[in-house]
Amino acid sequence: MTSYAEELARDIRAGLSSGQKQIPSKYFYDERGSRLFEEICRLPEYYPTRTEMAILEEHAGAIMEPFTAGDLVEMGSGANWKICRLLDAAAQPHGAGIRYVPLDVSESALQAAAEELIRMYGGLEVLGIVADFTRNLDRIPDDADRLITLFGGTIGNFTDAEAAELLEGVSALMRRGDRFLIGMDTVKDTDLLEAAYNDARGITAAFNKNVLNVVNRELCATFDLDLFDHVAFYNETSDQIEMHLAARQAMAVEIAALDMVVEFENGETIHTEISRKFSRERAIRIFEDAGLAPQRWFTDENGWFSLVELVRR
């Protein structure tokens, strides 16, 4: 199995050698990046988390009602806010009868979240898996009924081809009785969308730039964060937010661990993230193409965000 270090090295070499330089957004989430994202989730401009949380608070009982025991799987786990809403609504108190199975590339974030949950829910069993869920779905146990979750509109961080591959992978591992709960951000007003990724306090900018800290630390690179600007905008043609880091001047960055020097022109960008927004019609097509069928659709009164319960067709 490829290690985190090997995967990072491969992704950075390929991404920074391409015509449009890029770094996969999964590398945002080291310990500092996870803390910054928790701050983002509390910002007034950032509607997705509070909207998804409100949906969970209203519908957690209905979501958990069929799930009396088994594995509660979280792909790309982070802060425990959302999982706690489901655990609080479980049939048995204190997490009894449930094994929480989080998958995350950050071992430190995974351990901290698991330890907190064990303190909060005395009957909960936790099986943390340090893994990239886009490549390691086969590591999810299959010895119990499963409620698999992918929160936060994470599916929007993937291209069409990547999203199709991921959803097909989840569909392939699901058995009769398993359910898949997925969060999806919706198409809405451009000003509202762009404000969510350009907050007044600059927390999203710090979060975006932190990916360069990861590369510096893990691959002995020489990125100067002060020489890059955070750029985020809504691409209406593709129905997606795009985040970039734009070079403020021409420069050369050494990545010693890769024996590599990366040249930047003034204004050249590193593409760090997309966040696609979905209409219901488009989402249904994507699900059906992957062999998944929507069972229930939970949304807020404004229609800003949706949680969709899926089963295998």
Taken in order of first residue, the domains within the chain and their CATH numbers are: 47-189+279-312 (3.40.50.150)
Instruction: Work out the pLDDT band at 113, boundaries 50, 70, 90.
Output: confident
Q: 298 near 55, Cβ under 8 Å?
A: yes
Mean pLDDT within 290-296: 97
Q: What is the mean pLDDT of the segment spanning 145-162?
A: 95
Judged by DSSP in three states, 18 sits in coil
Question: Which residues have CB under 8 Å from 40's CB, separation 6+?
Answer: 46, 49, 199, 203, 204, 207
Q: At what angle do helices 47-64 and 31-41 cross, to 10 degrees?
A: 90
Q: Considering the chain, what is the average pLDDT of its residues?
A: 95
DSSP one-letter string for 212-266: HHHHHHHHTB---GGGEEEEEEEETTTTEEEEEEEESS-EEEEEGGGTEEEEE-T
Distance CA 130, CA 45 (A): 31
> Taking Cα atoms as reference points, which of 27, 136, 118 lies closest to residue 75?
136
Given a contact cutoff of 8 angstroms between Cβ atoms, the answer to whether 193 and 241 are in contact is: yes
- Quick one: pLDDT band at residue 3, thresholds 50, 70, 90? confident
Amino acid at 178: D
Asked if pLDDT for residue 145 goes beyond 70, the answer is: yes
Buried b or exposed e, range 114-128, using 16+ CB within 10 angstroms: beebeeebeebebeb
Q: What pLDDT sits at residue 106?
A: 79
Using 50, 70 and 90 to split pLDDT, how confident is the model at 1? Answer: low
Element containing residue 61 per DSSP (H, E): helix 47-64
The DSSP annotation for 92-142 comes to SGGGTTEEEEEEES-HHHHHHHHHHHHHH-TT-EE--EES-TTT-GGGS--
Q: What is residue 2's predicted lDDT score, i.e. its pLDDT?
A: 73
Q: What angle is formed at CA 247 by the lines to CA 245 and CA 248, rounded to 5 degrees?
A: 125
pLDDT of residue 105: 81
pLDDT in tens, 59-78: 999 999 999 899 999 998 77
pLDDT digits 0-9 by tens, 13-60: 999 999 999 999 999 988 899 899 999 999 999 999 999 999 999 999
Q: For 100-124, what is the mean pLDDT? A: 90
pTM of the complete model: 0.91
